[in-house]
């Protein structure tokens, strides 16, 4: 295992690991790697993050030398997730969310958001016009920065459903469990 700070400070090489050994991935602290002003996100087999991701304490079976590059995000948080009614009524902000938290996206009912002219909620999006990244209530998101999520509404009554995240025919006739 070769740990590369990838823009940070330090490095580590665990050599002589016998073939077939189950190896536990180290944390950046255990590998003596840091990057001031940044927070560690994960290890990746490619410097640009396009390879396979590993988290500290993941295990791998040793079959060859495996380079691991630290992946960093600026800042350390805490961060906010703001819900914007996008022309509707209401708003909600979750504040103080620590970096790396697996955050569950809220429903418009929980966020107390609605739209009188467009009664059917479709999804949340990072752009008001829906051209960004879409999230449905119940999706898990790894928090690495603050987010503003804009409600996407429709007046269509076809079974896209206002509650498509609820996979129960009682609250969602569109869903087949």
Which pLDDT value is given to residue 174? 44
- Structural contact between residues 148 and 111, judged by C-beta atoms closer than 8 angstroms: no
62 C-beta neighbours (distance < 10 Å), count: 15
- CA distances (Å), origin 169, targets 80, 107, 158, 163, 176: 33, 18, 15, 10, 7
Which pLDDT value is given to residue 105? 96
**Could you tell me the sign of the dihedral formed by the alpha carbons of 171, 172, 173, 177, in that order?**
negative
Architecture per CATH, domain 79-154, reads as Sandwich (2.60)
Which pLDDT value is given to residue 157? 64
Which pLDDT value is given to residue 163? 46
User: Domain residues of the chain, as ranges?
Assistant: 2-74, 79-154
Encode the chain in three state secondary structure.
Answer: CEEECCCCECEEECCCCCCCCEEECCCCCCCCCECCCEEEEEEECCCCCCCCEECCCCEEECCCCCEEEEEEEECCCCEEEEEECCCCECEEEEEEECCCCEEECCCCCCCCCECCCCCEEEEEECCCCCCCCEECCCCEEECCCCEEEEEEEECCCCCCCCCCCCCCCCCCCCCCC
Which pLDDT value is given to residue 138? 94
How confident is the prediction along the chain (177 residues), in pLDDT tens digits per residue? 999 999 999 999 998 899 999 999 999 999 999 987 788 889 999 999 999 999 999 999 999 889 999 999 877 678 899 999 999 999 999 998 887 788 999 999 999 999 999 889 999 999 999 999 999 999 999 887 889 999 999 987 644 444 444 444 444 444 443
Which pLDDT value is given to residue 73? 81
The residues, ordered by sequence, that sit 6+ positions from 135 with a Cβ below 8 Å of its Cβ are 105, 123, 124, 125, 141, 149
């Amino acid at each position: 295992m070769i740990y590369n700070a990838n823009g940070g400070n330090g490095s580590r090489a665990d050599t002589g690991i016998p073939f077939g050994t189950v190896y536990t991935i180290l944390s950046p602290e255990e590998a003596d790697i840091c990057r001031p002003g940044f927070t560690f996100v994960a290890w990746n087999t490619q410097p640009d993050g396009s390879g396979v991701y590993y988290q500290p304490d993941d295990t791998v079976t040793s079959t060859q030398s495996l380079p691991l590059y630290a992946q960093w995000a600026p800042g350390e948080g805490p961060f906010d997730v703001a819900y914007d009614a996008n022309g509707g009524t209401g708003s909600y902000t979750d504040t103080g969310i620590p970096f790396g938290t697996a955050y569950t996206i809220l429903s418009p009912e929980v966020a107390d958001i609605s739209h009188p002219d467009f009664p059917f909620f479709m999804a949340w999006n990072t752009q008001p016009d829906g051209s960004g990244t879409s999230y449905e209530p119940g999706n898990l998101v790894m928090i690495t920065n603050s987010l503003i999520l804009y409600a996407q509404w429709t007046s269509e009554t076809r079974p896209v459903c206002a509650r498509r995240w609820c996979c129960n025919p009682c609250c969602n006739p569109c869903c087949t469990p």
